[in-house]
Structure 1
Amino acid sequence: MIDIINEIARARREVSDGAEVKTIVVRRRYDAALEEVWDACTDAERIGRWFLPISGDLRLGGHFQLEGNAGGEILHCEPPHALKVTWVMGDAPGLSEVEVRLTAEDGDATLFELRHTAQVPPEMWSHYGPGAVGIGWDLTVLGLGLHLAGGTISDPDAWQHSDEARRFMAASGQAWGEAFQAAGVPPEQVATVVENTIAFYIPQPSEEE
């Protein structure tokens, strides 16, 4: 059983609502040494245990592919502090980059920061807002935290459809709504995009079901 409220509260979220380029940031402190977090984020075998199977040339300038998800090019690598990649889903055009920065903290802990910058179609942003990708990154941050703590979700596919996962995604959607409002977006617009995003991740059962 995951302490959903605690997991959501342990992360801090920011949104930059630029005219053409949007940026979301999620930060979380892990009770693990800097080198341990870096290894978990860059070793192919370990990535497959908490995120998704990954293939490709995992070196500066190389290309990677996450199974059933994004792929891209490794733009910058500064062990054990910084990693920057392009983040492309299929043939989607425009800028999309993900940067991870790690900072050692007192008590053998590490501050993890993930920044996703992208050109987002206006109609998608106005309908879903930052939660469209933010919920996915919250799930990623959760998976990394469980891995670093020595735990795991035994059946991720089944868990995605569990009541626990639905509660987590709903809480994540609300948290990204709060970050969106803090960026200066009117509350009425925030409420609409949060509702749309949560409905996308957690569709209501049809009457036939």
Structure 2
Amino acid sequence: MDVVAAAGLVFREIRSGAREGVPTKIQIARRAYATDRADLWDVLTNAERIPRWFLPVSGDLTLGGRYQLEGNAGGTVEKCDAPESFAVTWEFGGMVSWLTVRLSEHEVGSLLELEHEAVVPEELWEQFGPGATGLGWDGALYGLGLFLESDNPLDPAEGALWGTTPEGRQFMTVCAEGWAVAAIAAGDDPERARASAATVLAMYATAPGDESGS
């Protein structure tokens, strides 16, 4: 499957929410995978399998435990209802957001729904929109699909630079456009949503140390 087709497998949605009276933005990504729910649950929650498609993880992956993804977010496991759903805090860069993953049966196997809720300052949303985190999740869902299809472990270092390759840029372009469409459907100004998508795409498609973005 080419990258454009893979990017099109994800359904993207934006909702408004609130936590303790504070407005939040909720990003939702859904994708179906050709595996049963028990296997999909295991690949998402088994500390030995997570690094094969995502990142090395340490800590306690049980209810109430603390986890840490290497070089990325950490947090607390707040909910764990196998094999249907789990919820964790997503703590990175001094900010806390909330991640919920739900699994259900689907005609091709299983449906994964990823929900990421965060308090986002208006000026940051206007500048970067949903793609700031959305493109990262798109990459993770794509990597998960590759692993499930081949059972071959992915290289995190290569994955971090994949967005700078021609294939990766093509994938990220389609995903950024998809998040802009979702933002517009949720009420964002179309011109601003597309400008935000272009800003984020340039960030993801630029190799470390390359300020040109080319």
The TM-score normalised by the length of structure 2 is 0.88
Q: In terms of mean alpha carbon deviation, does 144-153 or 190-199 score higher?
A: 144-153
Point out 4+ residue stretches in structure 1 off by more than 6 angstroms.
none
**Partner of 1:131 in structure 2?**
131
Kindly tell me: are residues 189 and 206 of structure 1, through their superposed partners in 2, closer, same or farther at Cα, counting changes over 3 Å? closer
**Partner of 1:13 in structure 2?**
12
Q: In terms of mean alpha carbon deviation, does 57-66 or 189-198 score higher?
A: 189-198
**Partner of 2:169 in structure 1?**
166
Q: In terms of mean alpha carbon deviation, does 192-201 or 131-140 score higher?
A: 192-201
Q: Deviations over 1:109-155 (max 9, x none)?
A: 00100000010122211100000000000001001111111255454
Please tell me the residue identity of whatever aligns with 2:131. Answer: G
Structure 2 gap ranges (5+): none
| 1:79-98 aligned within 5 A | 79-92=82-95, 95-98=96-99
Q: How far is 1:178 from its partner?
A: 0.8
Q: How far is 1:105 from its partner?
A: 2.3
**Partner of 2:178 in structure 1?**
175
| 1:1-209 aligned within 5 A | 3-17=2-16, 20-92=23-95, 95-106=96-107, 109-152=109-152, 153=154, 155-203=158-206
In 1, Cα distance between equivalents of 2:6 and 2:34 = 13
| Contact residue 176 and residue 201 of structure 2 kept, 8 A | yes
Kindly report the root-mean-square deviation, in angstroms, between the aligned alpha carbons of the 2 structures: 2.0
In 2, Cα distance between equivalents of 1:117 and 1:39 = 23
In 1, Cα distance between equivalents of 2:16 and 2:193 = 12
Q: How far is 1:8 from its partner?
A: 1.1
Kindly tell me: are residues 60 and 167 of structure 1, through their superposed partners in 2, closer, same or farther at Cα, counting changes over 3 Å? same
Kindly tell me: are residues 206 and 57 of structure 1, through their superposed partners in 2, closer, same or farther at Cα, counting changes over 3 Å? closer
Q: In terms of mean alpha carbon deviation, does 2-11 or 128-137 score higher?
A: 2-11
In 1, Cα distance between equivalents of 2:28 and 2:200 = 18
The TM-score normalised by the length of structure 1 is 0.90
Q: How far is 1:31 from its partner?
A: 0.7
Please tell me the residue identity of whatever aligns with 2:189. Answer: P
In 2, Cα distance between equivalents of 1:156 and 1:203 = 13
Q: How far is 1:157 from its partner?
A: 4.1
Counting aligned pairs with the same residue, the percent is 40
- Number of equivalent positions: 204
